[in-house]
Structure formats: structure tokens, C-alpha cells
Amino acid sequence: MQGGLPNLSTNSHRTQSGTRVTGTLFGYRKGKVSLSVQENSKCLPTVVVELAIQTNVLQKEISAGMVRIALEAEKRQEKDKTKLLQEPIWTMYCNGRKSGYGVKREASEEDLHIMELLKAVSMGAGVLPGSSDIEGLDGELAYMRAHFERVVGSKDSETFYMLSPEGNNGPELSIFFVRI
């Protein structure tokens, strides 16, 4: 580890139809959820998106069953070469209901600290003690980390399907990035 940041690595794993990446959903219980996508749990995030849903609301959705998050960006002119996951803002839908806007952002020092704390966790869910500066003395940071199959449909669509550790019944969580 150099300078307090996770070691860089480019090891990604191929699956049947896509690439396996590590996805982490995290946020303070009364705050918004952030999504971090990494090549693996030891890499720096390749993308961080602040989602338009509170952590406690997403936890309820997940406990109720399958969750589908769609992030839609407006299609750009052909000469614009912005990559799909580099779009700055997304209209967000959770299970078909519009819930606001997702915003791509650079990983903050706090994000990097959280990823460093979770470096040894390949998949799982839990709670980390929160920062009293941000959430008060009883603030807790909830997280869920899993392997996702990243399937690139085109330059305007990518999907991340959560891979179940038992390999049963398909994904419980799917995240769709689309340009329309």
C-alpha cells in the first residue's frame, strides 16, 4: 500500500458472458447510497456513483426481493466519445419507480478509506462504525459487497448482475446503465 491508497491491480475475471467485477453499495443509514465498481476488491474504484436512494430504503427493497436499478443518461451526438460509465448524471429508477438522479463522482478520501477497510472482503454485507463528524456519534455505515457480472451490450448499455454465492435463482440485484 502506498500513500494510504489500495494497491492498483488489473486482474479481472472472465465469466460466461461478461467480466466479473466487485461492486460495493455503501452509505450511512439515513444518507444516500453510493455504488463503487472495482476490477477486484483490492483495486481503486473505476467508477463511483452516488445513487438517488437512501440506504435504509434500499435495504428494505433488497430484503423484499429482487432489485432492479436503472440509470439512464441522454444519448450524445455521434462525435462525442464519452464512455457510458463516464456520464456525469443519470436519471435513476429503482424497481420501475423514478427516484431522482445518480451522479458520477471522483472517489473521495472517505470512499477510498472505506474501500481499504473492505479490501479483504470479497463478498458480504455488514456495518462499519461511522464518522461522528458526518453522521453523529451513532452513525453507522452499511455496506453490501458482491461479485457482479459486467455485460456490455453496446456502447450505450452495460449491465451489472450480482452473482449469487450459491449460484441459485439468478441475481437478486441488477444495475443497468443505458443511454437513451
Sequence ranges of the domains in the chain: 14-179
Distance CA 37, CA 54 (A): 19
pLDDT digits over 105-145, tens only? 999 999 999 999 999 998 999 999 876 565 544 578 999 99
pLDDT score, position 164: 77
Q: What is the dihedral of CA 103, 1, 12, 39, to 10 degrees?
A: -10
Q: What are phi and psi of 144, to 5 degrees?
A: -140, 125
The answer for residues whose C-beta is within 8 angstroms of residue 32's C-beta and 6 or more apart is: 50, 51, 52, 53, 54, 55
Share of the chain above pLDDT 70, in %: 82
pLDDT in tens, 52-83: 999 999 999 998 889 999 999 999 887 788 99
CA dist 148 and 43 (Å) reads 15
Q: CA geometry: angle at 112 spanning 1 and 166, to 5°?
A: 95
What pTM was estimated for this model as a whole? 0.85
d(CA 115, CA 91): 26
- Quote the pLDDT of residue 50: 98
Q: Is the dihedral of CA 50, 52, 58, 64 positive or negative?
A: negative
What pLDDT sits at residue 147? 94
